[in-house]
Each structure stands twice: as structure tokens, then as C-alpha cells.
Amino acid sequence: MENLLLAFGLTLLAGLATGVGSLIAFFAKTTNTKFLSLALGFSAGVMIYVSMVEIFFKAQDSLVDAMGNEAGQWTTVAAFFGGMLVIALIDKFIPKSGNPHEVKKVEDMSKRETAVKDPDLLKMGTFTALAIAIHNFPEGIATFTAALNDPALGLAIAAAIAIHNIPEGIAVSVPVYYATGDKKKAFKLSFLSGLSEPVGAILAYLLLMPFLNDMMFGILFAGVAGIMVFISLDELLPASRRYGEAHLSIYGVVAGMAVMALSLLLFI
């Protein structure tokens, strides 16, 4: 029960980071591109390293124990790429105009001088928030599953996903504010979109935990590894570079891998 509450709490905190991004959009004067570039690269480094070095092999060990060596290894690889396929399909069905990973900057907030009530713009802004909510759902499952199995590992993943959610909060706040001229509405939608992560955690618990054995755990964990690697390569690294600091992006990746490697050696 203690691990369960911790896993849910970490998932909730990671999701609420979208609200932090929203607040940054409202109160900061300019976007700290160097910080975001480094932070997103760092997050990618953490997620890639922990997925490929720790989570994948934990999943493989579990599946080999349950199914035997050959079947276990094949199932691990299939579940890993299956996780990638799930997140790729989610991305495919989110139109570019509502894509949560289209880079927005705090400076865009100042370009709106008057509030013009436009139902079409409001619909588009709301859709952006919904797109983020859908996209964050599997991330909630990933964070919760990792934290439930290993709290220290879950903490590292939750921190990486929280960093990744900050620019998403900016991305939803800017277009919603453009649509309505209402900062409260923009913050509320940004905040609610982040809550899809703990909702994902709750559903993972209700639907999957009753059936959790070595085989189910291994398949789920391998899928989580695939999801996180895909997110890192398809979203975090390109977003980091789009903020205009290519070298900082790579330095962040290396730093994230180094910190995760040290954490695995010392604490996990």
C-alpha cells in the first residue's frame, strides 16, 4: 500500500508539471531557451538510459522466468516495439495544429493585446488541451508502473516526465489564451490536461493489477520502455533542438544518462 500511494503521488506530481509550464507562460517575460533545451535533453537522456539499461532487462528477466529463454526474449522485443507502436499511433491521430509538441514561447503571450471572443479559436485551443491529455495518458501508466515496481526508479522517471511536461504546459496555455484572452481558462485547461497522467495510473491499477503476474509485468514493463524511448527520440530531442540550443541539447542528454547511471549504481 505504501508503494501504491507513492507511485500514484509521483504520477500526480509529474502530471501537474503542465500547470507549472502554464504559470511560467503567464509570469515569465521571456522563454529561457537555454534552460529548456538543456532540461529537455536531460529528460531524454534519463528516459533513454533507464529504458534500455534497466527497464528492458527487468522485463526480459520476468518474461524469461515465466515463458522460458527463447519465448521470453522474443516477447520482450515484441512488447518493446508494441509500446512504440501505441505512442506512434496516438501521435499520428493528433493533427499538427493540436500537437502538444509544437514549440511555443512565453513571448507569444505578449503578442495578444486584446481579447477577441472567437468560438473557432476556443475550440482549437480546447482541442490542443485534449490532445495533450490523450498523449499524457500512457506516460501516466509508465510512471505508475515503474514506481510501483521500484520507487527509486519511479522517482527518476517521474522527474524526467515532469521536465518534459513543463513546455507542454506552455504549449497549451499560449493557444488557449490566444483563443479566449482568459488566463484562468488557459491555466485550467493546461492543469486538467496534466491530470490525465494520474487517471492513467488509476486505470492501470484497476484494470491491470488484478492480473499482474510475471508475464503481465514483463509485457507491461517492456512496453513502457518502448514508450519512453519513442517519446525521447520523437519528441524530447527534436523539441530540445527547436529551442535553438543544439549543443546544449546533447550535453543535456549525456548529463541525463550520467545522472541516471549513477543513480542506478548507488540507489537501485
Q: What is the pLDDT of residues 23-60, one digit of tens each?
A: 776 665 555 677 778 878 888 888 899 889 988 998 99
The CA-based diameter of the chain, rounded to the nearest angstrom, is 65
pLDDT at 173 (0 to 100): 75
Q: Give CA torsion, residues 1, 83, 45, 204, to 10 deg.
A: -20
Q: Which residues of 36-63 are buried (b: 16+ CB within 10 A; e: fewer)?
A: bbbbbbbbbbbbbbbbeebbbebbbebb
Distance CA 232, CA 249 (A): 12
What pLDDT, on a 0 to 100 scale, did the predictor assign at position 263?
78
Would you place residue 115 in the very low, low, confident or very high pLDDT band (cuts 50, 70, 90)?
Answer: very low
Q: Which of 77-81, 98-102, 139-143 has the lowest mean pLDDT?
A: 98-102
Cα 218 to Cα 230: distance, rounded to the nearest angstrom: 18
Over residues 66-94, the mean pLDDT reads: 90
84-98, 135-149, 203-217, 238-252: least confidently modelled range: 84-98
Angle between helices 119-149 and 2-27 (to 10 degrees): 150
| pLDDT for the residue 119 | 57
pTM: 0.73
User: In this model, does residue 106 exceed pLDDT 70?
Assistant: no
Crossing angle for the helix pair 151-180 and 2-27, nearest 10 degrees? 30
**C-beta contacts of 261-266 below 8 A and 24+ residues apart:** 261/49, 261/53, 263/152, 263/156, 264/50, 264/53, 264/54
Q: What is the pLDDT of residues 155-211, one digit of tens each?
A: 888 888 888 787 777 777 776 776 677 778 778 888 888 888 888 888 878 887 777
* Rounded Cα distance, 229 and 223, in Å: 10
Q: What nine digits make up the cell of 42?
A: 536531460
Task: Determine the Cα–Cα distance for residues 125 and 179; give it in Å rounded to an integer.
Answer: 6
104 pLDDT band (50/70/90 cuts)? Answer: low
pLDDT digits (tens, 9 = 90+) for 220-259: 889 989 988 998 888 788 878 876 667 888 998 999 899 8
Tell me how far apart the terminal alpha carbons of the chain are, to the nearest angstrom.
20
Q: Grade residue 81 by pLDDT with cuts at 50, 70 and 90.
A: very high
Specify the pLDDT at position 170: 75
Helices and strands of the chain, counted as H and E runs: 11, 0
Helix or strand or coil: residue 118?
A: coil
